[in-house]
Structure 1
């Protein structure tokens, strides 16, 4: 069931790149959390956010509410999404099949796309380039490499199956 042989550089490269991508996703989350804490510490009531966080009656972000009264459904959803970051590297390490590569490609692609899109929306909402730059550098670059290596892994798995069928 599990592949313990060392047969595919693409699979191992993909696993390593997915681990780097997961670290980038966590780095982006930490930067986002620190910016919320910074708003709280600065008492930044003039900071406008339009995405779904706790807001005051006039539409301003209430950083204190975000940090002290988190929505439990949102907290579980975020925990679930961050837990999914381990799926692509585990698939690459444990399985060599084309199907595992496709699942890793889809799951990892959604994680990369979602976090880069989140950085983009924060950049627009904050009127600052920093969130987008962090998302692109910490998530987008290793994510692109991971996606490329996962496609190589899928191609290698397809070639291996085709050569078995021909032989």
Structure 2
């Protein structure tokens, strides 16, 4: 995924109430449970054979190679505590919103005579629930990084640059490029 999608994933992982399992066997069991008992689906997900997954489950293999260990941990993070993840997303989209901290280049499409030169800005802004909901829905739907950038730029345009309709009313579009850093918190 892209920088914004990865930041959303990290934000969701920050709300976990328990750490992910440490051992490879426990991680495999968590994945098999998430796949409703299908070792074949886990094997496809990890890019290994079904027999390899079964060996981890029985304890015949205990330590995966570094590449597989990373893929295994990443996949477990995606499925770990799904109800906690859903609750955090629902709450952000309905009541609390999210906090976005970014350093990126912002450019504008605005009325003639205004300054629309793109420049680097460091912005920390609370996005209210409607904008947070759009961003989270786009991420859940599998939107590309370019689409997530546009959803985030639209939210920042309305909340940060236009201050909810009290200024910069002629500002038509905000372009978000050259992202150096994005941190999102629930």
- Which structure has more helix as a fraction of its residues? 1
Of the two, which has the highest radius of gyration? 2
- Which structure has more strand as a fraction of its residues? 2
- What's the TM-score, normalizing by structure 1? 0.29
- What's the TM-score, normalizing by structure 2? 0.27
Name which structure has the greater RCO, CA cutoff 8 Å, separation 6+.
1
